């Protein structure tokens, strides 16, 4: 089961924001696919959002505090350099359930850019599989924030997703096959003490696609080696996948990632011969004098492939619907992949027995690809549509004040939620539940 929390404020992708930046609004809405960015209020941070999504998950599953044995937090928006965010989260929950109510729960914070929550999920799944009585929760929580007027600014967002992990899940049972890829890159990073990320957008996109393509190849090799799937003549692995879900820095990236995966999975099949008849053969790096020339031609070929009817049919059927919520929330880093799952639940696209394939990416860079089987048609992800419809639009001036940390008073007073109420002289953060 999963639950989602997003801040009650949003900045629209049209209107003041693009006009002030000299950007065509179409670049947001049609180009990258973002229509609204969720913006945290002055009393919110990654820890309060995490506590809210976890509280929603606990309430919806009737979990007693003592039943939750582990809380693993994936984030790159840490609120302390040493103290695990999970301890702050437990402290907030105990404001509601009583002091010591979660003292039997262990917690750890995993940081690996946007792939952190997936690494937490892998670890908790291994732990939970040993005993069907074990109950753990993975929390993905982040604030995607870039310098004002920087190229990455319009891919901001904020939110948290909590995942309930048990040996006998009700929603998706993960298959024990994980493909991976890791390489040292400087595509995206945030130096110590800096509140916003340093990002090379074009390079980051290339790193993402290369990592995803290679991790999928690793996953495919292991699926075939372990005999989980045995495609017949003219078939490939993606024929046995009902839905492809990817990390979503912005919705259009799902289309690019899908193209990279389908291209490699279809290579050598009769259908690929049909593709080559339509757009020609792929460029060969040996035919170019430098890497830059090859990459330029490879990029053109990718665009041609993405326009083919065969690819568009596959993309529409297996990937597009995973972007629904991200269009309204923006980038939430570690939780973005799992927004895709929530989107499929919201659109009622999941059927029992379907295979979901997840492509997780973390800048810097790492990727993991894994899969799971839908257990039942359980679409409840926590009144997502209602959450999104109740939000308040903010002005450009309000957004910039919050971004710069100048808003000491919240735009919307906290109500029935956790709030950061102060940071003392030692730098220790104090939270309360405001009813």
Contact 145, 333 (CB under 8 A): no
Among 115, 49, 50, CA closest to 76: 115
Q: Which residues contact 365 (CB under 8 A, 6 or more apart)?
A: 113, 182, 183, 184, 185, 187, 188, 207, 208, 211
Taking alpha carbons only, the member of 135, 356, 127 closest to residue 244 is 356
Which pair of structure tokens corresponds to residue 304?
């041609």
Q: What is the DSSP string of 248-269?
A: -SSTHHHHHHHHHHHHHHHTTS
Strands 417-423 vs 2-5: parallel, antiparallel or unpaired: unpaired
Whether residue 314 is predicted with pLDDT greater than 90 in this model: the reply is yes
What's the N-to-C CA distance of the chain in angstroms?
Answer: 26
Give percent of the chain above pLDDT 90.
74
Average pLDDT over residues 312-341: 96
The SS3 assignment for 391 reads coil
Residue 37 phi, psi (nearest 5) = -115, 125
Q: How far is CA 139 from CA 103, 338, 344, in A?
A: 18, 11, 19
DSSP 9: E
Per-residue pLDDT tens digits for 149-189 = 988 888 899 999 999 999 999 899 999 999 999 999 998 88
CA atoms within 13 Å, Cβ hemisphere of 371: 24
Average pLDDT over residues 48-62: 93
**Confidence grade of residue 102 (pLDDT, cut at 50, 70, 90):** very high
User: What would the mean pLDDT of 101-122 be, rounded to a whole number?
Assistant: 96
pLDDT of residue 360: 97
| Secondary structure of residue 161 in the 3-state scheme | strand
Non-local (6+) Cβ contacts of 84 within 8 A are: 73, 107, 108, 109
DSSP designation for 129: T
Higher pLDDT, 395 or 405: 395
Q: What are the respective helix, strand and coil percentages of the chain, to the nearest 5? A: 40, 20, 35
Q: What is the pLDDT of residues 125-134, one digit of tens each?
A: 999 999 999 9
Q: What value does the mean pLDDT take over residues 278-284?
A: 89
Query: Which range has the worst mean pLDDT, 86-90, 219-223, 298-302, 388-392?
Result: 298-302
> What is the arithmetic mean of pLDDT over 225-233?
92
Determine which of 233-247, 261-275, 291-305 has the lowest per-residue pLDDT on average. Answer: 291-305
Pick from 269-273, 297-301, 335-339: least confident? 297-301
> What was the pLDDT predicted at 14?
86
Domain range for 77 is 2-434
Burial class (CB in 10 A: 0-12, 13-18, 19+), 253: buried
Q: Decide if pLDDT at 381 tops 60.
A: no
Task: Output the 3-class SS for 19-72.
Answer: HHHCCCHHHHHHHHCCCEEEECCCCCCHHHHHHHHHHHHHHHCCCCHHHCCEEE
What pLDDT, on the 0 to 100 scale, is given for residue 380?
60
DSSP-assigned beta bridge partners for residue 129: none
Which CATH number characterizes residue 101's domain? 3.40.47.10
DSSP state of 114: B
Structure-token match 């989980």, residue found: 228
Q: Kindly tell me if the per-residue pLDDT of 399 is higher than 90.
A: yes
CA distance 279 to 299: 13
Instruction: Look at residue 382 and tell me whether its pLDDT is greater than 60.
Output: no
The predicted pLDDT at position 27 comes to: 67
Q: Which among 113, 272, 143 is positioned nearest to 207, based on CA atoms?
A: 113
Number of domains in the chain: 1
Q: What is the DSSP code string of 320-332?
A: GGGGTTHHHHB--
- pLDDT for the residue 285: 83
pLDDT band at 387 (very low <50, low <70, confident <90, very high): confident
pLDDT score for 80? 93
Cα dist. 416→55, 56, 93, 336, 413 in Å? 11, 12, 13, 25, 10
| Residues contacting residue 108 through CB under 8 Å, at least 6 positions apart | 72, 73, 84, 86, 120
Q: How confident is the model at residue 202 (pLDDT cuts 50, 70, 90)?
A: confident
The sign one gets for the Cα dihedral 271, 274, 276, 278 is negative
Are the beta carbons of 430 and 421 closer than 8 angstroms?
A: yes
φ, ψ of residue 170 to 5 degrees: the values are: -90, -25
User: Which residue, among 302, 424, 408, 399, has the nearest Cα to 17 in the 3D structure?
Assistant: 399
For β-strands 136-144 and 429-434, DSSP reports them as unpaired
């Amino acid at each position: 089961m999963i639950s989602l929390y997003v801040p009650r404020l949003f900045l629209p992708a049209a209107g003041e924001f693009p006009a002030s930046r000299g950007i065509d609004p179409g670049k947001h809405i049609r180009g990258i696919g973002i229509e609204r960015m969720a913006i945290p209020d002055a009393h919110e941070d990654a820890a309060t959002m995490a506590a809210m999504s976890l509280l929603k998950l606990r309430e919806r599953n009737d979990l007693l505090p003592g039943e939750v044995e582990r809380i693993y937090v994936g984030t790159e928006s840490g609120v302390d350099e040493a103290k695990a965010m999970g301890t702050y989260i437990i402290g907030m929950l105990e404001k509601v359930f009583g002091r010591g109510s979660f003292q039997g729960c262990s917690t750890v914070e995993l940081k690996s850019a946007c792939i952190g929550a997936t690494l937490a999920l892998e670890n908790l799944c291994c732990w939970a599989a040993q005993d069907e009585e074990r109950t753990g929760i993975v929390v993905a929580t982040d604030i995607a924030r870039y310098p004002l007027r920087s190229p990455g600014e319009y891919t901001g967002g904020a939110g948290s997703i909590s995942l309930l992990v048990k040996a006998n899940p009700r929603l998706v049972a993960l298959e024990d096959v994980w493909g991976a890829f890791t390489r040292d890159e400087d595509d995206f990073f945030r130096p110590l003490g800096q509140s916003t990320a340093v990002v090379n957008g074009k390079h980051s996109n290339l790193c993402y696609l290369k990592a995803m393509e290679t991790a999928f190849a690793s996953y495919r090799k292991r699926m075939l080696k372990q005999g989980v799937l045995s495609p017949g003549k003219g078939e490939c692995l993606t024929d046995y996948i009902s839905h492809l879900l990817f990390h979503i820095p912005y919705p259009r990236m799902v289309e690019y990632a899908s193209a990279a995966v389908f291209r490699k999975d279809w290579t050598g099949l009769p259908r690929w011969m049909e593709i080559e008849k339509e757009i020609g053969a792929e460029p060969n790096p040996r035919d170019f004098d430098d890497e830059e020339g090859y990459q330029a031609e490879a990029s053109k070929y990718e665009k041609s492939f993405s326009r083919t009817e065969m690819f568009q049919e596959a993309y529409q059927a297996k990937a597009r619907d995973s972007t629904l919520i991200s269009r309204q929330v923006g980038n939430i880093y570690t939780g973005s992949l799992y927004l895709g799952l929530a989107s499929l639940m919201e659109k009622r696209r999941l059927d029992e027995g379907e295979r979901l394939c997840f492509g997780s990416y973390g800048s810097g860079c790492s990727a993991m690809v894994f899969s799971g089987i839908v257990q039942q048609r359980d679409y409840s992800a926590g009144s997502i549509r209602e959450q999104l419809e109740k939000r308040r639009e903010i002005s450009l001036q309000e957004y910039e004040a919050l971004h710069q940390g100048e808003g000491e008073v919240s735009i919307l007073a906290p109500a029935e939620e956790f709030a950061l109420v102060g940071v003392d002289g030692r730098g220790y953060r104090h939270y309360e539940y405001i009813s």
